[in-house]
Structure 1
């Protein structure tokens, strides 16, 4: 599809343009695309910014924009919480190395509603305002390896570090090394374990 598009649209610079720059670029090929696809990175962006650009790029009547949202960016799934099992495994790994629990049932944080959380009504109204139509908004439940959630936590380098440093017996040891041992044990515990994650799939079309 990309090769065919490159042959039909004689604007080579477009293929070196970042998504963010598309919001400020005025010479993008208009009314040219049958499909525009985007992964879950849309949850970091705003339909108020993206829909006007998409509306210009898609072919009238036959152009579609398909994208997904993380469950926490949609009001019907934002409170989906299936992390208790992983939290229990994390506590088990800490216990194995004689550290106190990191998670407890009494200190679970309740997140406040964020402005970035979408609703079907918001999507419909925003789409209509920019000349496109919400065709579908479907929630699918997927089985995901539990290691996915662990890797997501580990994207924050400081994760678990403060907890380890809070206890006296860690002060004379390398906390990073201790964390590595705990993570290794945790990976052993969650091997072949899966959890459920909702994914919101959205399709809008050019009017």
Structure 2
């Protein structure tokens, strides 16, 4: 519905047809009744034909002439790449980050077992090494290592300051990179153009698959996404 605002009737019909096509794929209705397997014809205008570098081809399609436009705020307001898994997100991020000029700044999280886990004397925190905790990949948290450059668009993963537009899903663009603080300019939502400072913070994931609760201290955003 958001995509149809301000569009003419021809564009509205194209958007609705594409939306219905996606729904039919998800519900298994494409090509009539099937047993879970069918051949799907991908529309040519959204098909990636490069078998050697499909991610590079996707980036070039979504972000054409990025070196000439990355300083233009509106350039990123109109573009984004969606990915189904964090592994794909990381691969896209690494590929796109390499295209930005300037030096990389690496941020590492500080992971530890929550103090609440020490209620029972029998609990041995040494069972979980730092390497093990740093290697955990859970939803809603970035990976242990976060690499950024000035000019890179990022996305907040937490509601930090709703009044000033710092919410889950807000897209800022990095202006400067400090040791514990990042300065960024908001490029989405109702506070476009505002500058803000984001510091490191501690969070505890609620994912049940993890054998023990742990805390991660890092910058909580996932860049070039969603």
In the superposition, the TM-score normalised over structure 2's length comes to 0.34
Larger radius of gyration: 1
- Structure scoring higher RCO (CA < 8 A, sep ≥ 6) equals 1
In the superposition, the TM-score normalised over structure 1's length comes to 0.36
Larger helix percent:
1
